Amino acid sequence: MMPITLSVLPAALIAIFLWRVWKSGSHRDIETFADAQMDDEQFARCPGEFVAALFRREDWEFVSQLDSEPLKALFLAERKSLAIAWVRATAALTRRIMREHVIASRSSSDLEIGTEVQIYSQYVALRGACTLLHLSIEVAGPVRLGNLSQRVHRMSERLSAAQEALAAANPIRKLQGT
Protein backbone atom coordinates (compact mmCIF):
# COMPACT_ATOMS: atom_id res chain seq x y z
CA MET A 1 0.00 0.00 0.00
CA MET A 2 2.78 2.40 0.94
CA PRO A 3 4.79 2.09 -2.33
CA ILE A 4 1.64 2.86 -4.36
CA THR A 5 1.08 6.03 -2.33
CA LEU A 6 4.71 7.03 -2.83
CA SER A 7 4.45 6.66 -6.60
CA VAL A 8 1.04 8.35 -6.86
CA LEU A 9 2.20 11.45 -4.95
CA PRO A 10 4.92 12.56 -7.41
CA ALA A 11 2.58 11.81 -10.33
CA ALA A 12 -0.13 13.96 -8.74
CA LEU A 13 2.38 16.78 -8.14
CA ILE A 14 3.53 16.65 -11.76
CA ALA A 15 -0.09 16.64 -12.96
CA ILE A 16 -0.88 19.68 -10.78
CA PHE A 17 2.19 21.50 -12.11
CA LEU A 18 1.33 20.73 -15.76
CA TRP A 19 -2.26 21.85 -15.17
CA ARG A 20 -0.98 25.13 -13.67
CA VAL A 21 1.38 25.69 -16.62
CA TRP A 22 -1.44 25.00 -19.08
CA LYS A 23 -3.82 27.23 -17.11
CA SER A 24 -1.38 30.14 -16.98
CA GLY A 25 -0.70 29.72 -20.71
CA SER A 26 -4.39 29.75 -21.59
CA HIS A 27 -5.16 32.91 -19.61
CA ARG A 28 -5.33 35.75 -22.09
CA ASP A 29 -7.61 38.12 -20.20
CA ILE A 30 -4.72 40.00 -18.58
CA GLU A 31 -3.02 41.78 -21.40
CA THR A 32 0.70 41.97 -20.87
CA PHE A 33 3.42 43.29 -23.12
CA ALA A 34 5.34 40.03 -22.96
CA ASP A 35 2.40 38.16 -24.51
CA ALA A 36 3.35 39.64 -27.84
CA GLN A 37 5.67 37.63 -30.05
CA MET A 38 9.20 38.87 -29.62
CA ASP A 39 12.56 37.95 -30.92
CA ASP A 40 14.07 35.43 -28.51
CA GLU A 41 17.61 36.69 -28.79
CA GLN A 42 16.60 40.31 -28.16
CA PHE A 43 14.59 39.18 -25.16
CA ALA A 44 17.30 36.95 -23.74
CA ARG A 45 20.32 39.24 -24.08
CA CYS A 46 19.19 41.59 -21.35
CA PRO A 47 21.68 43.57 -19.20
CA GLY A 48 22.06 42.08 -15.70
CA GLU A 49 20.69 45.13 -13.90
CA PHE A 50 17.39 44.79 -15.75
CA VAL A 51 17.18 41.07 -15.04
CA ALA A 52 17.57 42.09 -11.38
CA ALA A 53 14.81 44.69 -11.85
CA LEU A 54 12.44 42.01 -13.24
CA PHE A 55 12.78 40.01 -10.03
CA ARG A 56 13.16 43.00 -7.66
CA ARG A 57 11.63 42.37 -4.24
CA GLU A 58 11.44 46.06 -3.28
CA ASP A 59 8.80 46.68 -5.96
CA TRP A 60 6.63 43.93 -4.49
CA GLU A 61 7.07 45.31 -0.98
CA PHE A 62 6.02 48.76 -2.22
CA VAL A 63 2.95 47.37 -4.00
CA SER A 64 2.04 45.29 -0.92
CA GLN A 65 2.08 48.40 1.28
CA LEU A 66 -0.66 49.94 -0.88
CA ASP A 67 -3.00 47.19 0.30
CA SER A 68 -4.93 46.66 -2.93
CA GLU A 69 -5.63 43.08 -4.03
CA PRO A 70 -6.28 43.94 -7.73
CA LEU A 71 -3.02 45.91 -7.82
CA LYS A 72 -1.09 43.04 -6.24
CA ALA A 73 -2.62 40.61 -8.76
CA LEU A 74 -1.77 42.91 -11.67
CA PHE A 75 1.80 43.33 -10.42
CA LEU A 76 2.34 39.58 -10.03
CA ALA A 77 0.78 38.84 -13.43
CA GLU A 78 2.97 41.47 -15.15
CA ARG A 79 6.18 40.36 -13.48
CA LYS A 80 5.44 36.66 -13.94
CA SER A 81 4.71 37.15 -17.62
CA LEU A 82 7.95 39.09 -18.18
CA ALA A 83 10.04 36.71 -16.08
CA ILE A 84 8.76 33.61 -17.89
CA ALA A 85 9.26 35.24 -21.28
CA TRP A 86 12.86 36.01 -20.32
CA VAL A 87 13.53 32.47 -19.01
CA ARG A 88 12.02 30.87 -22.13
CA ALA A 89 14.04 33.17 -24.38
CA THR A 90 17.21 32.40 -22.43
CA ALA A 91 16.57 28.65 -22.77
CA ALA A 92 15.88 29.08 -26.51
CA LEU A 93 19.05 31.11 -26.97
CA THR A 94 21.01 28.46 -25.07
CA ARG A 95 19.70 25.73 -27.38
CA ARG A 96 20.61 27.82 -30.41
CA ILE A 97 24.13 28.50 -29.14
CA MET A 98 24.64 24.78 -28.54
CA ARG A 99 23.26 23.88 -31.99
CA GLU A 100 25.67 26.31 -33.63
CA HIS A 101 28.50 24.93 -31.52
CA VAL A 102 27.74 21.34 -32.54
CA ILE A 103 27.66 22.35 -36.23
CA ALA A 104 30.98 24.18 -35.84
CA SER A 105 32.50 21.24 -33.95
CA ARG A 106 31.59 18.79 -36.71
CA SER A 107 33.67 20.73 -39.21
CA SER A 108 36.57 21.28 -36.82
CA SER A 109 39.66 19.13 -37.32
CA ASP A 110 41.21 19.65 -33.88
CA LEU A 111 38.53 19.13 -31.25
CA GLU A 112 39.69 19.47 -27.66
CA ILE A 113 37.79 16.98 -25.54
CA GLY A 114 38.30 18.96 -22.32
CA THR A 115 36.82 22.13 -23.83
CA GLU A 116 33.91 20.21 -25.36
CA VAL A 117 33.09 18.55 -22.04
CA GLN A 118 33.29 21.90 -20.27
CA ILE A 119 30.91 23.57 -22.77
CA TYR A 120 28.50 20.65 -22.68
CA SER A 121 28.42 20.63 -18.87
CA GLN A 122 27.81 24.41 -18.89
CA TYR A 123 24.94 23.83 -21.30
CA VAL A 124 23.38 21.06 -19.20
CA ALA A 125 23.71 23.12 -16.00
CA LEU A 126 22.16 26.17 -17.66
CA ARG A 127 19.23 24.19 -19.08
CA GLY A 128 18.67 22.69 -15.64
CA ALA A 129 18.80 26.12 -14.01
CA CYS A 130 16.33 27.53 -16.59
CA THR A 131 13.90 24.68 -15.89
CA LEU A 132 14.26 25.15 -12.13
CA LEU A 133 13.73 28.90 -12.45
CA HIS A 134 10.68 28.40 -14.67
CA LEU A 135 9.16 25.94 -12.20
CA SER A 136 9.95 28.25 -9.29
CA ILE A 137 8.30 31.22 -11.01
CA GLU A 138 5.19 29.14 -11.67
CA VAL A 139 5.00 27.87 -8.11
CA ALA A 140 6.34 30.73 -5.97
CA GLY A 141 6.12 33.79 -8.25
CA PRO A 142 9.05 35.91 -9.41
CA VAL A 143 9.59 38.16 -6.39
CA ARG A 144 11.65 35.72 -4.32
CA LEU A 145 13.92 34.51 -7.09
CA GLY A 146 16.45 37.33 -7.48
CA ASN A 147 19.49 35.18 -6.69
CA LEU A 148 18.52 32.28 -8.95
CA SER A 149 17.72 34.63 -11.85
CA GLN A 150 21.11 36.34 -11.51
CA ARG A 151 22.76 32.92 -11.49
CA VAL A 152 20.96 31.94 -14.70
CA HIS A 153 21.94 35.26 -16.28
CA ARG A 154 25.63 34.79 -15.39
CA MET A 155 25.62 31.17 -16.63
CA SER A 156 24.04 32.28 -19.90
CA GLU A 157 26.66 34.99 -20.36
CA ARG A 158 29.47 32.51 -19.62
CA LEU A 159 28.15 30.03 -22.19
CA SER A 160 27.77 32.77 -24.83
CA ALA A 161 31.29 34.02 -24.11
CA ALA A 162 32.77 30.51 -24.31
CA GLN A 163 31.05 29.83 -27.63
CA GLU A 164 32.09 33.22 -29.05
CA ALA A 165 35.70 32.66 -27.94
CA LEU A 166 35.73 29.24 -29.61
CA ALA A 167 34.18 30.62 -32.79
CA ALA A 168 36.77 33.39 -32.88
CA ALA A 169 39.60 30.93 -32.27
CA ASN A 170 38.49 28.49 -34.99
CA PRO A 171 39.77 30.40 -38.05
CA ILE A 172 43.13 30.84 -36.31
CA ARG A 173 43.32 27.14 -35.52
CA LYS A 174 42.45 26.36 -39.11
CA LEU A 175 45.18 28.72 -40.34
CA GLN A 176 47.68 27.14 -37.94
CA GLY A 177 46.70 23.71 -39.21
CA THR A 178 47.45 24.55 -42.82
> Residues touching another protein: how many (CB under 8 A)?
32
Distance CA 158, CA 164 (A): 10
* Window 16-45: residues binding another protein (CB under 8 A): 32-34, 38-39, 42-45
The binder of another protein chosen from 14, 17, 22, 58 (CB under 8 A): 58
Picking from 33, 119, 145, the residue whose alpha carbon sits closest to that of residue 81 is 33
Confirm if 108 and 119 have CB atoms less than 8 A apart.
no
Picking from 25, 7, 86, the residue whose alpha carbon sits closest to that of residue 50 is 86
Q: Does 75 bind another protein (CB under 8 A)?
A: yes
Nearest CB to another protein, comparing residues 53 and 132: 53
Nearest CB to another protein, comparing residues 75 and 119: 75
Confirm if 44 and 126 have CB atoms less than 8 A apart.
no
Picking from 122, 126, 49, 55, the residue whose alpha carbon sits closest to that of residue 84 is 55
Least distance from C-beta 114 to another protein, angstroms? 34
Inter-CA distances, 165 with 16, 48, 66, 178, Å: 42, 21, 49, 21
Q: Which stretch binds another protein (CB under 8 A): 1-9, 81-89, 127-135, 160-168?
A: 81-89
Least distance from C-beta 118 to another protein, angstroms? 28
Contact footprint for another protein (CB under 8 A): 32-34, 38-39, 42-47, 49-51, 53-54, 56, 58-59, 62-63, 66, 68, 71, 74-75, 78-79, 82, 85-86, 89
